[in-house]
Structure 1
Amino acid sequence: MQTNNSVLVTQQIKTWLEQVVIGLNLCPFAKRPYKQKQVKIAISTASDDDTLLQDLLQQFKLLENTPIETTETSVLVVTNHLQDFFDYNDFLNLADALIEQYNWQGVFQIASFHPHYQFAGTTEQDPENLTNKAPYPILHILRESSLDKAVESHPDVDGIPEQNIAKMNQLTKEQITELFGYLKD
């Protein structure tokens, strides 16, 4: 049973997916599985790395044991841990080690999102960082097979990051406030 807080967090993530990820077409592959209700949104209330790794392992196993037609991808939302972006970034190494430990290389990969996301060589306020900013730290588990199909069907996969940066640079301050209001810390 979901608590009121997890219902609120889930709604915030759905709004972010609908308005930012899908609404701005930052990921041209997100709309189809979302509309078909194949995106699992899971909430982790872990407050330490070990517990979060267990929650992450649970999501990997869920995807491993669930047909892609039912659940294509999982979005693990971290509400009580990894609030510092650099701690989050370090945790990604543990997540990758988990993938290796279970021989899931080539099966799963993680896309990363964080409220304070910052690409190397940028300042925190640079617009291109908005492409990976989310209301909470997120570990988005992707099936490699889904990515392979999506890449095959897209005319310019390599151009997506540049197109997204251009979109972020074209947003007005008002649009940024409306879409990314959760970034006010």
Structure 2
Amino acid sequence: MNKDEVIAITRHWLEQAVIGLNLCPFAKAVYVKDQVRYVVSEAKHLDGLLEDIDREIDFLAQADPAAVDTTLIMHASLLEDFLDFNDFLDIVDEAVSEQGHEGVIQVAAFHPQWQFADTEPDDIGNYTNRAPFPTIHLLREASVTRAVDAFPEAESIYERNIETLNRIGLDGWRALGLPDGRRRPG
């Protein structure tokens, strides 16, 4: 799969799930202002992927927030196993800290087989963090803070998302053309 295909599939997920289902009420503003940076890593190994992520951490920290407010880094073939991906997130968090951007850059993550602790693989709640590809999301902490401060009852977002996903169910998720953790996107 080429970079353009990975980005197109990721944008579809962002439009249909994250924004369309309002799973993140903060996403639409940066999306419509074209402030989301999409990066597809073609690294052949985890060290290369981490180098790509290191570059993007620095890029986002230096970029004008009006131009780039958040970055999605996708990889179409590395870290397909969720537990390996989950372990890798610790390394990404360390990279943010080692580069001196703790408190500046925040890491969020999405994966085709995302599974929260103490849930079954098919639990619909897991779909709040399911994306077509293993995805590292770099966010500016200042932007997150502003968004949360402006959103009444931000702590209720997760519960509202679970209600939304329970309402549409797996069939509704699939009807939106979204990956369900069982099949490859595209």
**Structure-1 residue corresponding to 2:165:** 168
1:39 correspondence with 2:10: no
1:129 correspondence with 2:126: yes
Contact 2:61 2:105 in 1 (8 A): no
Superposed CA RMSD: 1.2
Contact 2:13 2:178 in 1 (8 A): no
1:88 correspondence with 2:85: yes
Amino acid at match of 1:33: V
Post-superposition shift, 1:162? 0.6
**Structure-1 residue corresponding to 2:141:** 144
SS in 2 for 1:87: helix
| Deviating 4+ runs (over 4 angstroms) | none
- After TM superposition, list the pairs within 5 Å mapping 1:20-39 onto structure 2: 20-39=17-36
Contact 2:111 2:132 in 1 (8 A): yes
SS in 2 for 1:75: strand
SS in 1 for 2:119: coil
| CA displacement 1:126-154 (0-9 Å, x = unmatched) | 00001000000000000000001001100
Report the Cα distance in structure 2 between the residues aligned to 1:151 and 1:181, rounded to whole angstroms: 27
Contact 1:46 1:80 in 2 (8 A): no
Q: TM-score, normalised by structure 2?
A: 0.94
Task: Count the aligned residue pairs.
Answer: 182
Identity across the alignment (%): 38
**Structure ranking higher on relative contact order (CA contacts 8 Å, 6+ apart):** 2
Q: TM-score, normalised by structure 1?
A: 0.95
Find the partner of 2:6 among 2, 6, 9.
Answer: 9
Amino acid at match of 1:155: P
- Structure 1: unaligned runs, 5 residues or longer: none
**Structure-1 residue corresponding to 2:58:** 61
- Structure 2: unaligned runs, 5 residues or longer: none
| CA displacement 1:106-133 (0-9 Å, x = unmatched) | 0011111000000001001000001000
| CA displacement 1:60-98 (0-9 Å, x = unmatched) | 111122100000000001112100000000000100110
**Structure-2 residue corresponding to 1:119:** 116
